[in-house]
Amino acid sequence: MTNLLRRYPLPTIVLAQLFGTSLWFSVNGVWLSLAREAGLTEGDLGRLTLAVQAGFIAGTLGIAITGLADRFGASRIFAVSCTLGALANAGFMAVASQPPLDFLFRFLTGLCLAGIYPLGMKLVIAWTPRYAGAALAWLVGMLTLGTALPHMMRGVTLGLPWEWPLGVASCLAATGGVLVLRLGDGPHLPKISGRLPLRQGLAALGRPRFLAVAGGYFGHMWELYAFWTLVPLLTGRELQRLGAGEAWVPWLSFAVIGVGAAGCIAGGWLSRTLGSAWVARRALMLSGAVCLSYPWLGGWSPLFLMALLLVWGIAVVADSPQFSALAAEAAPRESVGASLAVMNAVGFGLTLPAIWLTSGLWESLGVWVLVVLVPGPVLGLWSLGRVRLAPTGPGAQA
């Protein structure tokens, strides 16, 4: 089995990533039945979602401080994180209606995800360095599908006990850990020893090219998760204007977020000839243009605005894997894992105020709350423009 997995390392990592990140929004996927049974509110959903984000940020910082990502095998860290994350996700079922224990178990789940998502990126780079942008596109595409799936599950699992989907997510995560453990570490990153503290990860920010990429990524992250949080509200608004039932909200939300997987894969394909920098810039331009124009078009046809949301869903995440590929190429070779962990920690840290602001102001501002997100793409493009970025991929032109 090991030989078979090593013949197809990218599909193995991508599948394991999908399985592992199914833990991220597992509670969101069963929320309607869970809330009804446990007496929870939408405010509790926000609290538990932020718990996962906070855990992920703490985990990435912990990886950067300890140098864990560069001191030990990525496959082992990934496998251990999947196993512990599966246990934390399962443990939540016993404390779902017992704050603050419910918050703690979701925080622990996010903590474990820090050993899955960033380490998945490192594994992709270690196994397929030549086409890192295209390979990472598949990885982020799976994360995007994992984000979208809870909305679909809201439409199809209302009659099932809410514990079942959570149990399945834990089993999938454990399976993903086994797959990567059997695959092992890739051959294209140097093996090093010794302590690599936080300063090694922060050292990459002293490199102008890495800092330019990181700035673009930070702007992207300010927009991305806040947009994903607002998708049900935006789709609900257009469906209400059409006179359609609320039952369509989860399905349309799934489409708007899930189509981002196609954007990631298409962007990865383009990066092989045009370069990751070219794809990242164009995707950020398109998502920023839609973000800026959407409030001004708020009175247009709901069908047109739904189509525009689909375009936004494609563009808003298509640049994410390309930023990771560019950052890995620009980071110090001996501390790629720590450098990516620092960039991830700061980027996900920016999602917290963006989500808090946009969701809190929605009731009073409606679609005009999207103006809060515009600085993300604008500043991201400005950062990318400060330093000329070398293209990635053979024959690429930025």
Please write the tens of the pLDDT for every residue from 95-111.
998 889 999 999 999 99
Mean pLDDT score, 40-51? 78
Q: How far apart are CA 336 and CA 340, in angstroms?
A: 6
Q: How far apart are CA 194 and CA 199, in angstroms?
A: 14
CB neighbours (10 Å) of residue 262? 15
Mean pLDDT score, 201-220? 85
Split at pLDDT 50, 70, 90, the class of 397 is very low
C-alpha distances (whole Å) from 185 to each of 49, 69, 304, 321, 325 are 31, 12, 47, 20, 18
Query: Does the pLDDT value for residue 69 go beyond 90?
Result: no
Query: Does the pLDDT value for residue 193 go beyond 60?
Result: no
The CATH T-level fold of domain 2-183+200-386 is: Growth Hormone; Chain: A; (1.20.1250)
Q: How far apart are CA 302 and CA 103, in angstroms?
A: 37
Task: State the Cα torsion 297-300-301-302 to the nearest 10°.
Answer: 50
The residues spanned by each domain of the chain are 2-183+200-386
Q: Can you give the pTM of this predicted structure?
A: 0.81
Convert the pLDDT of each residue in 279-301 to its tens digit.
999 999 999 999 999 999 988 99
Dmax over CA atoms of the chain, in Å, equals 63
Q: Please indicate whether residue 365 or residue 244 has the higher confidence score (pLDDT).
A: 365
Q: How far apart are CA 170 and CA 259, in angstroms?
A: 25
Position 131 scores a pLDDT of: 62
Q: How far apart are CA 337 and CA 7, in angstroms?
A: 24
Query: Does the pLDDT value for residue 309 go beyond 90?
Result: yes
Convert the pLDDT of each residue in 122-135 to its tens digit.
788 788 766 666 67
Mean pLDDT score, 182-194? 67
Mean pLDDT score, 263-277? 88
Q: How far apart are CA 153 and CA 389, in angstroms?
A: 41
Position 396 scores a pLDDT of: 41
Q: What is the b/e burial string over 186-200, where b = at least 16 CB atoms within 10 angstroms of the residue's CB?
A: beebeeeeeebebeb
CA 371 remoteness from chain centre: 22
What percentage of the chain exceeds 70 in pLDDT? 86
Q: Match 């860290």 to its residue by tokens.
A: 77
Residues in the chain: 398
Lowest mean pLDDT among 93-97, 179-183, 283-287, 390-394: 390-394
Position 292 scores a pLDDT of: 96
What percentage of the chain exceeds 90 in pLDDT? 36
Average pLDDT of every residue of the chain: 84
Position 390 scores a pLDDT of: 52
Mean pLDDT score, 82-94? 96
Q: Match 């247009």 to its residue by tokens.
A: 300
